[in-house]
Amino acid sequence: MMSAESTCTQQGVELYYFDGRGSTLKGTYNKPSNLIIVDSYLDDIEKKKVIYHELGHKDHNPANYDRCREQYEAQADRNMIYHLLKEELSYWDKDELENFNYINFLQKYDLKTTINESMVKEEFFNLID
């Protein structure tokens, strides 16, 4: 079964949880240590979103983050959506994919922006081709 944790393992990224009570930080990727830390008090869906998003920063150069912030965050969000969709679709029979409702997917994962919606549509069609 696919999971955010197994994806970290496959990509060689260590995953740790921290007590995030009183913190606004949900998670972060530490490139020098090649690890992700995630607030253990997030619900399961939010943990999954944070892990997949932070994995999207794996190939980013931290020295360029301030200059490339919007690009890096969009790439990390696309990575999150790709992995959420890949995991979600792994539970579907191929002949039922025509019934996939991206609005339900957006609601399930609390994805609210039109950019998220566009990414979901694009990644869905990339995955089923």
What residue ranges do the domains of the chain occupy?
Answer: 4-128
* Residue 23 phi, psi dihedral angles, 5° rounding: -115, 150
What is the arithmetic mean of pLDDT over 79-91?
A: 96
More confident residue, 125 or 129: 125
CB 15 within 8 A of CB 38: yes
Contact 58, 72 (CB under 8 A): no
* Residue among 80, 84, 76 nearest 100 (CA): 84
Give the amino acid at 79.
N
pLDDT at 76: 98
Check: CB of residue 41 under 8 Å from CB of residue 21.
Answer: yes
pLDDT of residue 66 exceeding 90, the answer is yes
CATH architecture of 4-128: Orthogonal Bundle (1.10)
Residue 1 pLDDT grade (very low, low, confident, very high; cuts 50, 70, 90):
low
pLDDT of 126 > 90? The answer is yes
Q: What is the pTM of this model?
A: 0.93
11-51 pLDDT per residue, tens: 999 999 999 999 999 999 999 999 999 999 999 999 999 99
